[in-house]
Structure 1
Amino acid sequence: MEKIAVLALNGKKKEEIDVPSIFEAPLRFDLIRRAVKVTQSVKKQSQGRDPLAGKRNSVENWQTGYAVARVPRNKGSGFPKARNAVFVPQAVGGHLAFPPTTAKNNHIKINKQEKKVAFHSAVAATSKMEIVKDRGHKLENIKSLPLVIDDKIQTVKKTQKIEEILVDIGLWEDVIRAKNYQKLRPGKGKLRGRKYKHKKGPLLVIKEDFGIAKASRNIAGINVVNINRLSVENLAPGAMPGRLVLWTQSAFNSLSKM
């Protein structure tokens, strides 16, 4: 079985451990894409319309004999919209014939076995240098993948200490890449608290949190996730496999049971 080096917090080799067989899984990018779509569909909020939209009118029906369409019309006279057709779907300002409803379930489903294969494939893709590099990550100071670090990193509570560790193990260039990228988002998202688009940096997978999550949350591009809550979307944001991942030793060993 192939061996992989475990790094100490100073970036030096501490010991060697076996690589779990999950990293030999076949790469199924089609299943990764499906699994990410399923995760994103669950996050979507159902759209709806006001039940009274287009129906707030005082109307009358003229019946026959006026050589005009028999549709509801505004009551009254002496104002621009008097006698205009209202309420019905074909009228200006009328209600929608079949508006979207919050009762509709937009969640996409996936087979359990396909989801499992997608997860294994996403994990395996994180160990391929060419795939990780194609995703845009900086690997100049990284000799091999996957990257495994001592569990002591889980107890770090200072952001400055985390930054020093990232410099020592060669991940700081990728953090700088994420920090320097800021692109204006197209569309209405600018008005909804997400004005800029940002790059994804390294992902830190841990077994237990003793302060590392809070210490890392203000570093650009960095995400910290527990191995028990690790999803395909964490490993392949935007359905693009090959995220740069830093595993703690205990989390890495847990992969053999998944």
Structure 2
Amino acid sequence: MFYILQEKEIQVLDLSGNKNKSILLPSIFSYPIRKDLIRRVFHSSFTKGLQPKGRDPMAGKRTTAKSFGINLGLARVPRVRGAGEGALAPNTVGGRLAFPPSTIERIHEEVNEREKRMAIVSALASTTVKDVVTKRGHRFTGELPLVVVDDLGKISKTKELQDILIKLGLEAELERASYRRIRAGKGKMRGRKYKRTVGPLLVVHDYSLPVVKAALNLPGVDIVSAKDVSVIHLAPGGHPGRLVIYTESSINILQNRFKGLIK
């Protein structure tokens, strides 16, 4: 399948939100948004990090219960001698499971490497379409994509980074991302009581920059380097259209990373 991909001119903003200069956005950002491909690769990446759940092979079997046999007017359920209580069988209290989960089950969905790369390109393209980003729930003012000068990487204070994001038109988005709610279910008792809203993503050209630590204290804000960005970052939950802020150099890294992928 062939697509006509074109480079377009975009504005690079300074740290005050003003237009600094114009650059050409690489053609990979004009790739069609393949929601099916993004969802498939997301599930592959997500299941790759899961640990298979298993059971103790002797769970429910540590008992002396035996069946009394037939022709006694009783069900052939294994019973504890002396007490007469049913045990061991799956239909008894404290008995074994009929089909317990096994650690040999395949829970990781295999996906071709080319599919993964094309899904990332498609997810990158979705970050430049305003209708897709707003439909996902993000709130911002201005045009997409948001490309900022490389001086953003020198910011070392969380308060300074927050002020810069507000100047870029993300004040409503930061307020939205600060919201958290109590999780439903037993997860509250297992160290994950709260669920937090997914906010903007910062894609930088180097993960050793001071801005990485500054962004960690902003609720809902994630940061990743251009060479490590994946569908997990760009489309949380398998839904494309995350609000992303790129540095100028990260655009060049992404262009070289996926060079020659699409013809």
Q: 1:22 aligns with which of 19, 28, 33?
A: 28
CA gap of 1:200–1:68, structure 2 versus 1, over 3 A, is same
2:220 aligned partner, one-letter code:
G
SS at structure 1 position matched to 2:74:
coil
Give the 5 Å matches for 1:1-258: 1-76=7-82, 82-140=83-141, 142=142, 144-179=143-178, 181-208=179-206, 209-257=208-256, 258=258
TM-score, scaled relative to structure 1: 0.91
Aligned residue number for residue 79 of structure 1: none
Whether the aligned pair in 1 keeps the contact of 2:227 and 2:254 (CA below 8 Å) is no
Q: For residues 146 and 68 of structure 2, what CA distance do their matches in structure 1 show? A: 77
Runs of 5+ unmatched residues, structure 1: 77-81
Whether the aligned pair in 1 keeps the contact of 2:140 and 2:171 (CA below 8 Å) is no
Structure 1 residue runs of 4 or more that deviate by more than 3 Å after TM superposition: none
1:106 aligned partner, one-letter code:
I
Q: For residues 44 and 103 of structure 2, what CA distance do their matches in structure 1 show? A: 19
Percent sequence identity over aligned pairs:
43
Runs of 5+ unmatched residues, structure 2: 1-6, 259-263
Kindly state the Cα deviation for residue 65 of structure 1 after the two structures are TM-superposed. 4.7
Q: For residues 175 and 42 of structure 2, what CA distance do their matches in structure 1 show? A: 26
1:152-189 CA distance string (max 9 Å, x none): 2112111111112112211222111111x222221122
Equivalenced residue count is: 250
2:22 aligned partner, one-letter code:
E
Aligned residue number for residue 261 of structure 2: none
Kindly state the Cα deviation for residue 71 of structure 1 after the two structures are TM-superposed. 4.2
SS at structure 1 position matched to 2:11:
strand
SS at structure 2 position matched to 1:97:
coil
Kindly state the Cα deviation for residue 69 of structure 1 after the two structures are TM-superposed. 3.6
Kindly state the Cα deviation for residue 147 of structure 1 after the two structures are TM-superposed. 0.8
Kindly state the Cα deviation for residue 117 of structure 1 after the two structures are TM-superposed. 2.0
Of the two, which has the highest radius of gyration?
1
